[in-house]
Amino acid sequence: MRKIALATTFLSLGTFLVGFHKPTPLKQENPLSIKAKKAPLRVAQNTKKPEPQVDVPEGFLMAYKPLPKDYHNASSRSAAKIDLGRMLYYDTRLSKNHDLSCNSCHKLDNYGVDNEPTSVGHKKQRGDRNSPTVYNAAGHFVQFWDGRSPHVEHQATQPVLNPVEMAIPNPAYAVKVLKSIPGYVAAFQKAYPKEKDPVTYKNMGDAIGAFERGLVTPSRWDAFLNGKKDALTNAEKQGFIKFVSSGCLTCHIGPQLGGHMYQKAGLIKPWPNQKDKGRGTLLKDKTYDMFFKVPGLRNIAKTAPYMHDGSVKTLPEAVAMMARHQLGRELSKEDIASIVTFLNALTGSVDANYIKKPALPASSATTPKADPN
């Protein structure tokens, strides 16, 4: 009986313990409510090696150097002259009909050109030569296609008197206009304080020239020449190598890539249009027929159309024509495209504050009126 009682006791205790430790059933979750665990993202490793840089032979660069900060000399580095020149550059009262200024043909917000074969002048007349860019022009050895002006100060006086361009009848008339505007009289006095009568035609050109000496457009090409080897893309470097190896450096060298010499148009193969004889006409000497100033190539991609007569519309066409007539070579389309890629790298930056049109001084009752005739 004792054994039975003891067994009963253990059975009751086991039942109690089992009941005490009864496991709680797991909560059944709706499978649709369980958010799928995101697998860790695997970032693909870029195994492509960077393209090796094209090396330009040092010898190819010997004929080139960066643009200077400006082209000022001791006389032109005057804030008063530059400010006066900037006003004169934009002033249409220096034209007979008050409708043209230096900026009409040499638009400073358009890389210094009007993108016309030849520019529109007084009474809608047109000249017979293309208007070259004024940017960086102060660094050229002469001005105009035929080199008839020695520097920008003299050049600035010429279109004002040209009957096809701004058509002012004579220098005295231009001075009369300027002296009739009180603001200009004060500005000339400030710019030329040592002169008793500073409002002169020569000083007008001098001030405009002082302003133009600051029209410089540095580009990635300059950064490259200054040692930043990745300033140009590989395609641009290859284009420069093709430019040099094709013979373009015969004429296009220096900071401007030109603007330093005369050359005959049609040096190897006769030029197709020989109506304009260039320096031959100026000098009245056939020895110089078809000689023109070599243009600089700065901003060349922005200054179409091309050549002295503006007859070539596109840059690839101009490259092909130069190779054919100046070098006696027929370049492939691929070579032309490569050279054009390099030429695009010569597009520079413009100082917007420097070229901003200023407020112009007001006319007076004695200022000559516009004359359309």
| Buried-state track 38-76, b at ≥16 Cβ within 10 A, e below 16 | eeeeeeeeeeeeeeeeeebeeeeeeebeebeebbbeeeb
The question of whether 195 is a catalytic residue gets the answer: no
Q: Bridge-partner residues for 149, per DSSP? A: 143
Sort residue 21 into left (φ over 0), alpha (ψ -120 to 50) or beta: alpha
Planar angle of CA 291, 288, 266, nearest 5 degrees? 45
Q: Which residue has the tokens 């070539």?
A: 312
State the Cα–Cα distance between residues 336 and 245, nearest whole angstrom: 12
Rounded distance between C-alpha atoms, residue 211 and residue 8, angstroms: 120
Quickly count: other Cβ atoms within 10 Å of residue 163's Cβ. 13
Tokens, residue 22: 């009864």
Q: Exactly one of 153, 165, 212, 236 is catalytic; which is it?
A: 165
Residues 6+ apart with CB under 8 A from 2: none
Catalytic residue annotation: 165
